[in-house]
Amino acid sequence: MARRSWTLRPAEHDTRGPAVCLPGQLDRIEAVQGDTTLEAERRRVLGGPVEHAATTLFELPDAEITEGSVWVAGARVLMLPGSVPRAVLSSRGERIERAALDCTWVGNRYFGHWLTDDSTLHLLVREHADPIGLMRPPYTHEPGYCHEWNLTPRKLSRARVRSLLVCEDHSQNSLKRDRYGRLRTALVGRGGSGRKSVYLRRGSSGVLRLLMNEDEVESALIRRGFTVVDPARDGFAELLAACSGADCVVGVEGSAMAHGVMTVRGGGSLVTLQPPWRFNCVFKDYTDCLGLRYAFLVGARSGDGFRIDVGELERTLDLCG
C-alpha cells in the first residue's frame, strides 16, 4: 500500500553471547509465552549468529484512523485490542496533512514494549513528521518518562491523514542502539553514585505470575544489599532514584523489567525469574543490543504460582559477578 519507502538502516549481522544461567534451566520449561516459540527462546538463550532486519520508513496515502485501527485502501492494521470495525463508525475526525505513527501493537498492549519500542520509535519518526498515536489510557509511569525524555505524544481516536509515515523498526540494530543510548543517558546517572542493586516486586499486577515465596526471595536479596522497589505502588521519581545506575536489577519476567533495561548502568545485569509455564526471554534482545548481562532462573510450580529456590538465585547472582 505504500506510495514510497526509505531504508533508514540496512540489515545487519551480529553474534550474540549466551545468557547467564545455572545448568539444566531449559529442561524445566513447560511452555512459553504465547507470542513466542520454544525454538526462538532457545536461540536467544544459547546465543549465536543473529540478523537484525532493516529499519524502513513507508509513506501510506490517505490513511484513516478509527478507534484502534489504521486503514489504507481497505487494508487494516490493528493497533489496539478490541477495536471497533470501521463499518460501524462515522468518518468524522481530524484532518491531517502529514504525520508519522509513533506506536505499535505490542507497545499499546504492554508497558514494557512501550518503554523499549514505542519511546524509541517516537524519537525516530519525529525527525520526519509530527508524531501521532492511537488513543488509549496511559501506563502508570508513562507521563514521568515522557517528561524526562521530552516526548510529546499526541493520541487520536479518529483522524484522516493524507500522508502517514509508518516505520518498521522492530529489530535491535545499531540505529535502535543509538536511540536507547540517548534515553538511557538521561536516566542512568540520576540515582547518585555508589554500588546498588534493585529487586522489582511484581506482586499480583498484570498477567498473573505469582511468586509464592516472594517474601523469602526479598529477604535473601535484602541481605545481599538489594533495595526493593514496587512499581505498582512507588511513584516515578521514587522508582527512578532507586533504579538509576543500578549494577543489577532482579524481578519476575514481565513489563516491569523494562525499567531495568533503561536504568541499569553500562555493563550491568538484568536477572529474570521465570514461571515454568510462561518462559520468555524477550529482554535478552535488548540487553544484547546494549552490551548488558542477561541472566534467568526458572522456578517450580507451586499452587497458583511458582517458587524460586533462594540458593539457586544466590548462585545465579554470583555468576553475574
How confident is the prediction along the chain (321 residues), in pLDDT tens digits per residue?
A: 899 999 999 999 999 999 999 999 999 999 999 889 999 999 999 999 999 999 999 999 999 998 789 999 888 888 998 766 655 555 568 899 999 999 999 999 999 999 999 999 999 999 999 999 999 999 999 999 999 999 998 999 899 999 999 999 999 999 999 999 999 999 987 766 567 999 999 765 556 678 999 999 999 999 999 999 999 999 999 999 999 999 999 999 999 999 999 999 999 999 999 999 999 999 999 999 999 999 999 999 998 899 999 999 999 999 998
- Ramachandran region, residue 8 (left: φ > 0; alpha: ψ -120 to 50; beta: rest): alpha
Question: Residue 64: how many CB atoms within 10 A of its CB?
Answer: 19
Q: Which residues lie below 8 Å from residue 236, measured CB to CB, with a gap of 6+?
A: 141, 143, 144, 145
Q: pTM, whole model, 2 decimals? A: 0.93
Candidates 181, 183, 138, 153; CA nearest to 291 is: 181
Rg (Cα) of the chain, in Å, rounded? Answer: 20
Q: What's the confidence (pLDDT) of residue 270?
A: 98
Residues of the chain with CATH 3.40.50: 12-52+190-319
Q: Let me know how long the chain is.
A: 321
Quickly list H helices, 8-99. 38-46
For helices 142-149 and 236-243, give the axis angle rounded to 10 degrees.
70
Residue whose grid cell is 484522516: 160
Question: What pLDDT score was predicted for residue 207?
Answer: 61
In the numeric block, which cell numbers belong to residue 306?
511458582
**101/99 Cα distance (integer angstroms):** 7
Tell which phi-psi region holds residue 45, choosing left (phi > 0), alpha (psi between -120 and 50) or beta.
Answer: alpha
The set of cell numbers assigned to 182 is 540517548
Provide the pLDDT for residue 87. Answer: 56
List the grid coordinates of 78. Answer: 490493528
CATH fold for domain 12-52+190-319: Rossmann fold (3.40.50)
Q: Is 114 helix (H, G, I), strand (E, B) or coil?
A: helix
Please give the Cα distance from 84 to 169 (Å, whole number).
26
How many helices (DSSP H) and strands (DSSP E) are in the chain?
Answer: 11, 17
Nearest to 49 by CA among 14, 17, 19: 14
Q: What is the pLDDT of residue 176?
A: 97
